[in-house]
Homo-oligomer: A and B are copies of this chain.
Amino acid sequence: MALRVGVVGGGQLARMMIAPAVELGVELRVLAEDEGMSAALAATAVGDYRDAETVLAFAREVDVLTFDHEHVPQEVLAAVADAGIPVHPGAAALRFAQDKLEMRARLAELGMPQPDWAAVSGTDELQAFIDAHGGRAVVKTPRGGYDGKGVRVVSAATEAEDWFAALAEDARGGQLLVEELVDFTRELAQQVARRPSGETAVYPVVQTLQRDGVCAEVVAPAPHAGARLIEVAAQVGTAIASGLGVTGMLAVELFETTDDRILVNELAMRPHNSGHWTQDGAVTGQFEQHLRAVLDLPLGDPSPRHPWSAMVNILGGPRTDALTDRFPAAMDEHPAAKIHTYGKAPRPGRKVGHVNCAGDDLDDVVYQARAAAAFFAD
């Protein structure tokens, strides 16, 4: 009997688990939100991940349940766990990925380096935080944000009035998260895989470049990273994985500050855009590693295969033709570029693919990845 992994969500992260699952010989089953999604090839069910019956029926046919996203409600996760089906990451860990206030509070308990933050219940509290932090701050809705959504830089509390109003209407009530606006030199990401038995595998810390709140480029490992940075990032990643009980892939988004500190920005408990380079640049890609971790198999070697790797996202994509129509020109110019597309219709700003390049020369690797990805622009 093949090992069966069930993935809730049919997006590109589920899709990119297909290749390593087929190669290992693991049966991947996907509960997709809709027909024709990115991971359609492996979709064995279509249904609403917020419906416990739907998820439970899907989960009963697999050895372990995992996710393409962190949005499955706690009560649904509980129903699956109550049925005795392994869920990785588990509900207790996912809580910290689902609610940024809980995440901040827990990271504080763990002594992790973070931006100054507070839970604010109204504009007065928010304004007080802004005033105490140089007149600007970042306000975040604790739940439901991604790719820059639910994040707002404000200089007056009135700019978040609509969010407070929305919270007041939410049965869960609650607060907004406010954080100091960090003066950072660059953004980094640390990936760690952790299996239920506790083993962890630490990827090299990478440099990420966001545009409009969306990941645009990643360079691995992070250039000009000293031994201290590498060590601190790995320690923070491992401490969070263990402290939060994460199983599967964890990505910790980090700020490197102008005064040389590392601060935790966001968490993702799943394969993450900052790790797409590992598909072609690491001995064990993050998607294979996630499958191994959630199956509680020994983790693979996370070492880079090449001195440098670069990943450039294809955002939006061509408006009038298909991504594959650009293959001839892109491949002709860049025979070493690894082109990945997600089977998604182009739409402005949407992640529809990415390009990985790897090699010995940092500048060349970055240039090749950018130039190849540019062939897929509108």
Contacts and interface: CB of A to CB of B under 8 A. Distances in A.
Contact of A298 (B2, B15, B328): B328
Closest 10 CB pairs of A and B: A25-B341, A19-B19, A298-B331, A301-B336, A298-B332, A301-B335, A23-B340, A3-B324, A18-B22, A283-B336
A333 to B, nearest CB: 8
A88 to B, nearest CB: 16
Given A25-B340, A42-B41, A299 B19 contact: no
A271 B360 CA distance: 29
Interface in A94-136: none
Contacts of A219: none
A342 interface: yes
A23 B20 CA distance: 11
Contacts of A20: 19
Interface string A325-346: 0011001100110111111000
A22 B26 contact: no
Interface size class on chain A is 35 or more
Number of chain copies forming the complex: 2
Given A19-B23, A305-B306, A2 B322 contact: yes
A323 interface: yes
A377 interface: no
A342 B25 contact: yes
Contact of A22 (B19, B201, B283, B301): B19
Given A283-B338, A284-B335, 19 more contacts: A18-B18, A18-B22, A18-B41, A19-B19, A19-B20, A22-B41, A23-B340, A24-B324, A24-B327, A24-B339, A25-B323, A25-B324, A25-B343, A25-B353, A41-B42, A201-B335, A283-B336, A298-B331, A300-B331
A194 interface: no
B303 A305 contact: no
A144 B2 CA distance: 32
Interface string A350-378: 00010000100000000000000000000
B331 A297 contact: yes
Q: Interface of chain A, helix or strand or loop or mixed?
A: mixed
A142 B113 CA distance: 71
A189 interface: no
A175 interface: no
B335 A298 contact: yes
A312 interface: no
Nearest to A330: B298
Interface string A301-324: 101011000000000000000111
A16 interface: yes
Interface in A283-303: 283-284, 292, 297-301, 303
A44 to B, nearest CB: 11
A74 interface: no
A171 interface: no
7 contacts: A24-B327, A25-B323, A25-B342, A26-B324, A284-B336, A298-B332, A300-B336
A103 to B, nearest CB: 30
